[in-house]
Structure 1
Amino acid sequence: MDIGPINIIEKSDSKVYQVDFTLKEQAQQLWFEVSHCPSISLTNNADSALLALLLPAMLAKEDIHIKDAVSERLLFNLNGPYQSLVLQQIPFLNRINISAERCSSQVAAGEGVISGFSAGIDSFSTICDYFAEHSPKQLKITHLLYNNVGSHGVGEERLFKERYQQLRTTANKWDLPFIMVNSNMDDFYGKVLDFQLTHTIRNAAVPLLLQNHIAHFLYSSAYSYHDVFVGPSYDMAYSDLFSLPLMSTESLQSHSVGSEYSRIEKTLKVAQSEYSYEVLDVCVKGDSANNCSHCDKCLRTLLTLDLAGKLELYKERFDLAVYYQHKQHFIAKLLISDDPLLKEIVVWAKQIGQPFAIKHYLDAYCLLLKGLPKQLLVELKKPVKKILGAVGLYQAKQYY
């Protein structure tokens, strides 16, 4: 994969960072369009492009050569430590070599602090800690960021713009610049490298566009210190504490923040913010800039608020009738789940004197029995595949 050189295009209401590259001997173009930041210039080095295209190159088993300047620190970390880490998390990737025509160790004079704001529990929790009177001056948020790098699902472009406009009112109340970044990055990841598996590196590529002015990027953690690890997983967030420093440059430090809290602690903290009553957005399945009230993330948040006696505060953001329709089945699901974010709700409910009823456990048992045949079939297939593989009659699927 050849990347570069970088081209910056100034439009009337936005700035575009674009770069041509080759992948599987086909010419491609990656672009980022940055809006609502008239006083900020984009960096003209290849740091963002390198970070955005690293995993697609590792999937294709193609070495990268950059025909432009890149951060010396970033190049070193992506060639060594970061690949060692990500290969543990996504084992079907391949180690590659990265080279560049020029390296730079220059430090920009930026002092800004930026954080993504999606109005979810994690990002609201970060606002509570890093945009407050008690926040340390060097880490107090000065800018907010809203990206389109693959998280908006069906109706991606439309939802991205709808959600940005909905959140902009709140950012204006805080008097914070709210930068919108659209990109075609998702086009190069495919189904194998889905968003949840790769969201950290996708989002970390964006603030590097702004490192002439931004010194710190705060990425809201999903998991507590108790739950983080490096290893095979469906969610890249489990390793954010270790990976984000490796995506930093001489000018911009990337941080994972918020792992000192459990998800329940974050939710209770966010429920003290009146701003969240107007714009809290936790949904992963809605086709509009609202919460569907029945996906797992909506139900997890609503059940926590319900147990805490805070549910009515969010009646404008959720359809509580829909929540009540799905509540009992969701409780059964969480009682048999291995997800740490669901298991902690079970423990907490007991701690606050609201343990789930025997009926819920019976429903959970029935749900478990219902899923046993499918799970048993999966387990039975494993030794059969191993035997067939040993005699050359089966080959595990390879992703290239």
Structure 2
Amino acid sequence: MSSTLAVRVNPPSGNEVSARFSVGKKSFTVRTSANVSLASGATPWLAPGLLAAMRQNAALDIDGPLDSVALTGAEEVQRIMSDWYPAQMHATAILQQETTNETLAGGRGVGCFFSGGVDSFYSTVKHIDEITHLIFIHGFDIPLDNEDLAERTLRTLRKAAEDLGKPLIEVRTNLRQVHALLGLDWESHSHGSLLAHVALLLTDHIGKLYLPSNRIEGELEPYATHPDLDKHWGSRGLEIEHDGNEANRPMKVAAFADSEPAMNNLRVCWWNKDNDYNCGHCEKCIRTMMNIKIAGAEGKCATLPADIPYDVYNRMYINKPGKHGAVENLKAMDDFGYRDAEMERALRDAIDRPTWQNQIFHARQLAGLAPQFAGRLSLENGHRAAVTKVDG
């Protein structure tokens, strides 16, 4: 290890905090803002800085004392991540060992990350009497340059939060883009540390944070959020709990099927064609529409069509998560005693489809999506170029 990744924390400006990440000739500024006050200091930058240093095989140098519990947790994170990804994530030295044991005020609330999806609605409804704040992050799954979709989403989630009787904390950050420029893979390495960064910035408001799980116990594998990992991102003033891995997606939908805020505002789409809140035709939308039918809630969801487009599903490329979802839904039909011959045929076809046929569907899908992919890639590259130009 011959290099150092330096994280230089800037003085806060209103409800925005920022820090400069520098390693070798690369240098970028991460900016995070919110509609509430954010904590200052170095500790919220430990999680994203640590993973960037591990990926760059560099020592980590943060200017400022670090929470003693967070620093101990970072050692456990290093052990786990370097064990999971030995070729990419290298154990490193944290040069800043000055600690702080500042005690935060009591009476703070309980937060839950809230995208409007199946996992976050499940955790919210499950802990509705305990949760005091819901937290949405623009820059997590909606690109920063897509202001239109972000505003559409926020309008709906504000209504959902109001109906649930909880304030919505709205956060904006470019950390995902900076992490990508530093070589981190979003799903495998990065997104858990982004969530930890945001959680630690909100310790003036919350003392506990629920991080909704998207995996079920027994099917867990190395991933950027994980029950063995997330708990180590906390501090003396913040407990982080990975929540919901006792239930799969059909079980989660069944658990909130009678919740009007959930069924009126559910957001699951990964494609968002034409910036639709839910397109109703991508694999994830269709998978969730099946979840809803199996749960006996057909017609209750205001944000998804009631009729499943089996003609689309039967010609659709089914990737690994999609095949897993098909297996999950087929099993749920048995578990829930739901009978639907057309759905069962579609699911079995998706599961048993020959590889060559699935690859043909994949090629056709890519050809059909090429113009929109090209547009999105251009926007993403343009955004990254802008980050490099301004901060490089």
Shorter-chain TM band: 0.7 to 0.9
Q: Which amino acid aligns with 1:16?
A: E
Q: How does 1:201-350 map to 2 (within 5 A)?
A: 201-229=193-221, 231=222, 235-237=223-225, 240-286=226-272, 287-288=274-275, 290-314=277-301, 316-320=302-306, 323-329=309-315, 333=318, 340-350=324-334
Are 1:84 and 2:79 an aligned pair? yes
Q: Distance in 1 between matches of 2:217 and 2:353?
A: 33
Shift in Å at residue 242 of structure 1?
A: 0.7
Q: Distance in 2 between matches of 1:184 and 1:372?
A: 35
Q: Which amino acid aligns with 1:368?
A: T
Are 1:143 and 2:143 an aligned pair? no
Q: Distance in 2 between matches of 1:218 and 1:17?
A: 23
Are 1:18 and 2:3 an aligned pair? no
Indicate the percent of aligned positions where both proteins have the same amino acid.
21
Shift in Å at residue 102 of structure 1?
A: 2.8
Q: Distance in 2 between matches of 1:120 and 1:338?
A: 16
**Per-residue Cα deviation, 1:273-295 (whole angstroms, up to 9, x for no partner):** 11123210011110525101122
Which of 54, 65, 68 is 2:64 aligned to? 68
Q: Secondary structure at the match of 2:159?
A: helix
Q: Distance in 2 between matches of 1:270 and 1:173?
A: 14
Are 1:103 and 2:99 an aligned pair? yes
Which of 354, 360, 368 is 2:339 aligned to? 354
Structure 2 match to 1:123: 120
Retained in 1: the 8 A contact 2:250–2:291?
yes
CA gap 1:5/1:341 in 2 versus in 1, 3 angstroms: same
Alignment RMSD (CA, Å): 2.8
Q: Distance in 2 between matches of 1:174 and 1:131?
A: 8
Q: Distance in 2 between matches of 1:147 and 1:372?
A: 35
Shift in Å at residue 325 of structure 1?
A: 3.4
CA gap 1:161/1:87 in 2 versus in 1, 3 angstroms: farther
Q: Distance in 2 between matches of 1:366 and 1:3?
A: 49
Shift in Å at residue 195 of structure 1?
A: 3.0
Retained in 1: the 8 A contact 2:138–2:144?
no
Shift in Å at residue 154 of structure 1?
A: 8.3
Aligned length: 349
Q: Secondary structure at the match of 2:253?
A: helix
Q: Which amino acid aligns with 2:287?
A: R
Q: Which amino acid aligns with 2:62?
A: I
CA gap 1:372/1:118 in 2 versus in 1, 3 angstroms: closer
Shift in Å at residue 345 of structure 1?
A: 1.6
Q: How does 1:32-47 map to 2 (within 5 A)?
A: 32-35=32-35, 37=36, 41-47=37-43
Shift in Å at residue 217 of structure 1?
A: 0.8
Are 1:3 and 2:7 an aligned pair? yes
Retained in 2: the 8 A contact 1:73–1:248?
yes
Shift in Å at residue 9 of structure 1?
A: 0.8
Shift in Å at residue 180 of structure 1?
A: 0.8
Larger radius of gyration: 1
Q: Which amino acid aligns with 2:29?
A: Q
Retained in 2: the 8 A contact 1:56–1:188?
no
Shift in Å at residue 212 of structure 1?
A: 2.7
Which of 186, 201, 212 is 1:195 aligned to? 186
5+ unaligned residues in a row in structure 2: which ranges?
A: 361-392
Q: Distance in 1 between matches of 2:255 and 2:147?
A: 31
**Per-residue Cα deviation, 1:169-192 (whole angstroms, up to 9, x for no partner):** 221233322111111102222275
Q: Secondary structure at the match of 1:21?
A: strand
Q: Distance in 2 between matches of 1:318 and 1:154?
A: 25
Shift in Å at residue 260 of structure 1?
A: 2.0
Q: Distance in 2 between matches of 1:155 and 1:346?
A: 38
Retained in 2: the 8 A contact 1:113–1:214?
yes
Q: Distance in 2 between matches of 1:367 and 1:47?
A: 50
Q: How does 1:165-204 map to 2 (within 5 A)?
A: 165-190=155-180, 193-197=184-188, 198-204=190-196
Compare 63-72 and 354-363 and name the one that shifted more. Answer: 354-363
Q: Which amino acid aligns with 2:22?
A: T
**Per-residue Cα deviation, 1:108-128 (whole angstroms, up to 9, x for no partner):** 114211111111111111111
**Per-residue Cα deviation, 1:228-263 (whole angstroms, up to 9, x for no partner):** 24x4xxx434xx211111101010010011122222
Compare 89-98 and 190-199 and name the one that shifted more. Answer: 190-199
Taking structure 2 as the reference length, the TM-score comes to 0.80
Compare 355-364 and 24-33 and name the one that shifted more. Answer: 355-364
Q: Secondary structure at the match of 2:155?
A: helix
